Structure 1
Amino acid sequence: MEIKIREIAADEYSEVVVLWNDVLGVHTVTDENFRVTMEQMIKAGNYKTFVALLENHVVGFISIVHGLAVGSENGYLHITGLAVRKEFQRHKVGTELLRYTENYAKDSRISSIILCTGMKRTNAHAFYEHNGYDKDSFCFDKIINLTNE
């Protein structure tokens, strides 16, 4: 099984949407809002989405953003999403996506990668720890009500 990893192409968006919904359980992602967001991310220039392909079919993806931080010369990469089709989990696809991202960081002279994952996703925690990522902080979020109610 040879996995090829490269930047996402527009005709693969719908396959990644399926992964967001089925694997990550984010059921608000649609083909349309994914396309619009990808266009904005491409225009911004500091986002990348890489896909893992097996026989020209998307079996996984990783989405990253290059952020800047005071005190960090070249900033950091933030993994904003990583998913592998369930039938290909535990076949090193996720690890290969992480390694590809780590090599991208190294080539870009970025020395730090961060990510957040849900508290209940214990299998994901074990996966990241197995791949050399340390638990060193908590992530917090707050949903802002944008209506005037």
Structure 2
Amino acid sequence: MDVQIREVDREDFDSVFSLFKQLWPDKHLHKEDMFTVYSRGMEGNTDKYICAVYDGKVIGFCAIAFMNNFWQEGRIAYIYAMVVDDALKGQGIGTRLLDEAYSIAAVQGCKKIELDSGFQREAAHRFYEKKSYVKRAFLFSKDIT
């Protein structure tokens, strides 16, 4: 399978949005709001969006943010979204995306790459652990209303 990893462009959004619907099947996604987030990430200098493409179709996506971190005493990369088309999982696409994210983080001078994953995504947890990612914290969140 000849998969290309590249930065996304605006025209990729519909395909990326379809992947998000696979990632979060129980969440009602607002396409306009998602496009706003997508556009801001593409325009800023703190985020990088990459995708996996096969036969002209986006089949995977990874969003990376770069930030300073006191615990690491330096910069870190944070993967805040990663998804591979359900029909194509197990073919090395996620590995290619993670490897590219790692390379980008190294070029950005990051000391560590981190991500979070929902409790129910046990297959994803096994995948990340197989790739040498270590569980080290709980994520807490609170809505701002």
Larger radius of gyration: 1
Seen in structure 2, the aligned counterparts of structure 1 residues 58 and 31 have a Cα distance that, compared at 3 Å, is: same
CA-based RMSD of the aligned residues comes to: 1.6
**What's the offset of the Cα at 1:41?**
2.0
**What's the offset of the Cα at 1:71?**
5.7
Residue matched to 1:27: 27
Of 16-25 and 124-133, more deviation after overlay is shown by 16-25
Superposition TM-score, scaled by structure 1 size: 0.89
The answer on whether the counterparts of 1:8 and 1:50 sit within 8 Å (CA) in structure 2 is yes
Structure 2 segments unaligned to the other structure (5+ residues)? none
- Name the CA distance, whole Å, in 2 between partners of 1:130 and 1:15: 28
**What's the offset of the Cα at 1:87?**
1.0
Number of positions where the alignment pairs a residue of Structure 1 with one of Structure 2: 145
Q: Can you list the C-alpha shifts for 1:101-126, whole angstroms capped at 9, x where unaligned?
A: 00111122212011111111111100
**What's the offset of the Cα at 1:143?**
1.9
- Name the CA distance, whole Å, in 2 between partners of 1:143 and 1:118: 17
Residue matched to 2:114: 114
User: Mapping of 1:65-144 within 5 angstroms?
Assistant: 65-70=65-70, 72=72, 74-144=74-144
- Counterpart amino acid of residue 108 in structure 1: Q
Structure 1 segments unaligned to the other structure (5+ residues)? none
- Counterpart amino acid of residue 85 in structure 2: R
Superposition TM-score, scaled by structure 2 size: 0.92
Q: Can you list the C-alpha shifts for 1:46-101, whole angstroms capped at 9, x where unaligned?
A: 01110000011001000011011236454101100000001110001001100000
